[in-house]
Amino acid sequence: MKNQHATQRLQLNARITGMKNAGIYPYFRPITSDQDTAVRINGKDVLMFGSNSYLGLTNHPYVQDAAKAAIDKYGTGCAGSRFLNGTLDIHVELEEKLARFLGKESALIFSTGFQANLGVVSSITGRHDYIIIDEADHASIYEGTRLSFSKVLKFKHNNLESLERILSSLPEEPIKLVIVDGVFSMEGDIVKLPAMIDLCHKYQAMIMIDDAHGLGVLGEQGRGTANHFGLTSETDLIVGTFSKSLASLGGFVAADAKVIDHIKHTARSLIFSASATPASIASASAALDVMQNESWRIDALWDNTRFAVDYLQYLGFDIGETQSPIIPIYIRDDNKTYLMTKMLMEEQVFVNPVVTPAVRAEDSLIRLSLMATHNYEQIETAIDKIYKIAQKLDIPLYEYATAV
Ligand code: PMP
């Protein structure tokens, strides 16, 4: 590259290079097998505790057959945006099915959950309006707020006083949109939705939930966080993804028909991007059926979650405030978090490290994600290995553990 400044700027930053040199770089690890609770990496069988496929549906024959049949009928891609040539009958059918399932008038599918958040957040409010977000909201919400050109205010994570302080300071006239995750993707806790909705009513704000991690996990048959609290009609916008419980790729928003019609004609991440592939749509739709027909999966997911939480607490791990199959094990040191991830991989256990800037340095953690298809033995094996390594790395454990 001729431009010296560009060459310097585009070099890997020192931190990444340092991690690579120290052999603790934990990203982009290629999997060479099918993906359930055990996968193959580097020629070894590895227990998977880093997947968001909460219901374990990526290998389900009904889901796979639906994807194959869609390829046979429609081909491999749509070669265009939903707006123009990229709408298939199965896009529209799945939108209707999602709206019915969630209890909303209408739904709209995007090609990813990230794009759904970009498109929805940027099309609801304008330059003179306000978006109020939880500081722990997903990155795609942060990016959406930038595209909206609105005034953006952050409240402390799941903190009602902090939210009220902001809402009470805003003028009446502009649109106010509060955005929260249903289940927070790093901490695993659930949004305090009833009290937040009360505040939204009091200060005439709209509320949007990103339920990427609530769909398939919470609520009746996995209908998600708003359903879990019986607050579907009070929740103005529900955003979700196909990339977690639904074992596919794509995103959606569900809301009143008029709102969806507005988003449909405004969201640039929808209008200027190719539509979700036939296989993605058909597999998400089939996974939605399986989720309802095989209710044991959600039960098993929660059984596994309780088992893991109890065992981790018994051993004395700091797992924060989790209320979901996302279990943070707080290490509170970026370097030890990376080391632990590497040592666990050597012991054939896959976990995800979460470090700065995704969380504050003092909150760095190992994220354990449970699936319906894990068994107790796999969970016990993984946690025993985590415990052994935690002792080697001097990770502080709670004293009271044995009394739990
Ligand atoms: N919202 C949240 C809370 C997420 O965790 C994710 C995925 N990590 C997304 C949105 C984006 O979804 P997708 O993978 O479909 O782009």
- What does the angle CA 356 – CA 358 – CA 363 come to, to the nearest 5 degrees? 60
Structure tokens at 61: 């024959």
Cα atoms in the Cβ-side hemisphere of radius 13 Å centred on 60: 28
Query: Which pTM was predicted?
Result: 0.96
Residue 16: pLDDT band (50, 70, 90) is: confident
Alpha carbon distance 131, 150 (integer Å): 7
What do you get for the CA distance between the two ends of the chain, in Å? Answer: 60
Q: What does the pLDDT read at residue 2? A: 66
Q: How far is the CA of 211 from the centre of ligand 1 (A)?
A: 9
Q: What does the pLDDT read at residue 404? A: 44
Q: How far is the CA of 141 from the centre of ligand 1 (A)?
A: 9
| Rounded percentage of the chain residues whose pLDDT exceeds 90 | 92
Which ligand 1 atom lies nearest to the CA of residue 137? 3
Residue with tokens 């057959």: 65
Evaluate if residue 399 carries a pLDDT over 90.
no
Q: Is the CB of 311 under 6 A from ligand 1?
A: no
Q: Whose CA is nearest to atom 15 of ligand 1?
A: 113
Q: How far is the CA of 21 from the centre of ligand 1 (A)?
A: 30
What is the Rg, in whole angstroms, of the alpha carbon atoms belonging to the chain? 22
SS3 355: coil
Bond before 174 cis per omega within 30 degrees: no
Q: What does the pLDDT read at residue 403? A: 44
5 noted as active-site residue: no
Q: Is the CB of 111 under 6 A from ligand 1?
A: no
Run of H or E including 89: helix 89-102
Q: Is the CB of 91 under 6 A from ligand 1?
A: no
Q: How far is the CA of 243 from the centre of ligand 1 (A)?
A: 7
pLDDT digits (tens, 9 = 90+) for 335-392: 999 999 999 999 999 999 999 888 888 999 999 999 999 999 999 999 999 999 999 9
Which ligand 1 atom lies nearest to the CA of residue 115? 16
pLDDT digits (tens, 9 = 90+) for 296-318: 999 999 999 999 999 999 999 99
Residue 13: pLDDT band (50, 70, 90) is: confident
Q: Is the CB of 364 under 6 A from ligand 1?
A: no
**ipTM score of the complex?**
0.99
> Residue 223: how many CB atoms within 10 A of its CB?
21
Q: Positive or negative CA dihedral for 285, 72, 108, 112?
A: positive
Alpha carbon distance 23, 26 (integer Å): 9
Alpha carbon distance 167, 169 (integer Å): 5
Which amino acid, residue 324? S
| Rounded percentage of the chain residues whose pLDDT exceeds 70 | 97
Alpha carbon distance 367, 350 (integer Å): 10
Backbone angles phi, psi at 232, to 5 degrees: -60, -45
| Active-site entry in 213, 342, 374, 385 | 213
* CB crowding 151-164: b at 16 or more within 10 Å, else e: bbbbbebbeeebbb
Residue with the bigger pLDDT between 156 and 358: it is 156
Q: What does the pLDDT read at residue 14? A: 83
Q: How far is the CA of 217 from the centre of ligand 1 (A)?
A: 15
Q: Whose CA is nearest to atom 12 of ligand 1?
A: 113
Question: What is the average pLDDT across 157-180?
Answer: 98
68 noted as active-site residue: no
Contact 213, 326 (CB under 8 A): yes
Residue 4: pLDDT band (50, 70, 90) is: confident
Which amino acid, residue 55? L
| Among 298, 286, 284, 283, residue whose Cα is nearest residue 221 | 298
Run of H or E including 141: helix 139-148
| Active-site entry in 138, 228, 244, 385 | 244
Q: What does the pLDDT read at residue 361? A: 82
244 noted as active-site residue: yes
Contact 26, 41 (CB under 8 A): no
pLDDT digits (tens, 9 = 90+) for 229-265: 999 999 999 999 999 999 999 999 999 999 999 999 9
Alpha carbon distance 158, 378 (integer Å): 32
Residue with tokens 């298809």: 373
Ligand 1 test: best mutation among 117, 140, 367, most atoms within 8 Å of CB?
140
Q: What does the pLDDT read at residue 400? A: 56
Q: What does the pLDDT read at residue 3? A: 77
Question: What is the average pLDDT across 5-33?
Answer: 85
| Active-site entry in 185, 285, 324, 369 | 185
Q: Is the CB of 53 under 6 A from ligand 1?
A: no
| Among 271, 267, 240, residue whose Cα is nearest residue 94 | 240
